[in-house]
Amino acid sequence: MKRIVATLLLSIMVACAPGSDPVPELSPEGVLPPEDIRSGYAFLTPETQRLQDDRFENPGYLWVDRGAALFEAANASTPACASCHSDGMEGVAATYPAINETSGALLNLEGRINQCRTIHQDEDAYEYESDELLALTAFVAAASNGAPQSVEISDRTAPYLETGETYFRTRRGQFNLSCQQCHTETWGKKLRGDTISQGHSNGFPAYRFEWQSMGSLHRRLRDCDTGVRAEPLPFGDETYIALELYLAARGNGLEIETPAVRR
């Protein structure tokens, strides 16, 4: 596990400018060298990049705007999110998934929002992939746009990183493929009409053309598992949250760019 942590620490300084460099040689541990790490933005067409960059045209901002309204909403018995977070949410999303100091559990941003609802607002948790949870998650994440991902890499997150890395590298499904084979070993190559990205998570929740909607990172992970004809895990599954932590650590230093637009 110390090897995993040491390797991920190398990923803090990152170059994320678009480019068409050839696939580099892998480091001995199978992690891309920091200078070669690129956001999924680098693999988009210029037209899609422009769509993401335009706050008036990017459809994901419909969810961000709704999230802003939910963040300020209150009623007679329920305080608004903003009443506790009056100093804003800048930089918060860049640190998630994170260990919850009270429970010791690993929470992603969706889990932290729902924890606030159930504990501090005395409300039911939002259902995963509901418009409300997507909107609030997108709003909180967008407040960190431009901040570098900086999830915790330490002894206490090491077991989760190991679980996430194991899932990332394990072949599965009828196609017997792993995340590693596509997003570390063959990134930059063509899969039909698409260019294979490095599989980073810094743009989620994201608007995907194939969904014609916003979706969480877990929706994308489930799509990937289904794509290799493996049984996807449930939304919010602990293994997916561990994988989410590993993906964020693998891309530590990449700037948050929510809501991203993807194919």
Beta bridge partners of 214: 207
Cis peptide before 232 (omega within 30 of 0): no
256, 141 in Cβ contact below 8 A? yes
213, 163 in Cβ contact below 8 A? no
Q: Provide the annotated active-site residues.
A: 224
